[in-house]
Amino acid sequence: MVEGEVRAVAGDRILVVGGGRGIGAGIAAAFPGRAVVWTRATGVDATDPTSLARAFATFQVQHGAPCALVHTVGDFAERPLLGTDAATFRAQFASNVDSVFHTIQAVVPAMVAAGRPGRVVLFAAAGADKDRGMLRAPVYFAAKAAVVQLARSLALELAPHGITVNVVAPGLIDHPHSHGQSQARMLPRVPLGRLGTVADAVGTVAWLLSEAAGYVTGQVLTVDGGLQG
């Protein structure tokens, strides 16, 4: 069902950046034979423009332009603002923001040049688009807020080309690499009373990649079970 939905979008390959584990791996697994995964393990560093350019040159030779780009890279650090050192601050923005910017620069121009409908899906975090401060992981949320703004701006740039750009903002998603202690502490604030699953996030991405979502762009879709605060 998922693969059939996405085939409605012209093109073939779905490029998943950060698809080696967690939500990214779930997205890649949902599209067997169509997803191409970029991770450090496959030799691609999304924070390094040279690495991305080299990888995309190879990708284009093999596949042309992708029909969809899904970027899931983003490290998490839960520290108060005054307890965050400069190295952690820089690392959070490199992983969560720089990697988005450099990936867009490397991949999206070819999607535009292809002249067909396309999709870009980026990842933020539940609450990053809200007008409120964050005591929990403030630098991480600041970085994800930057991702939201990049996505909204890119959506305006790409709309005339038929390419949509949206953000998925997960809440507490349970997978082998999630932050269990933090999630256990936050779980009482989830009205649905459970952690999210990778499938919850993958289903949202699948819909955004489908023809049914062709009139949706510049939006943040929050997947958090109603998380409060």
Could you give the residue numbers annotated as active site?
140
What distance in Å separates the CA atoms of residue 28 and residue 215, rounded to the nearest whole number? 24
What distance in Å separates the CA atoms of residue 226 and residue 211, rounded to the nearest whole number? 27
Is 100 in contact with 149 (CB distance < 8 Å)? no
Q: E strand or H helix at 37, and its extent?
A: strand 35-38
Strand 35-38 to 68-71 pairing: unpaired
Q: Which two tokens stand for residue 75?
A: 């490290």
Tell which residue, 1, 29, 2, has the closest CA to residue 16: 29
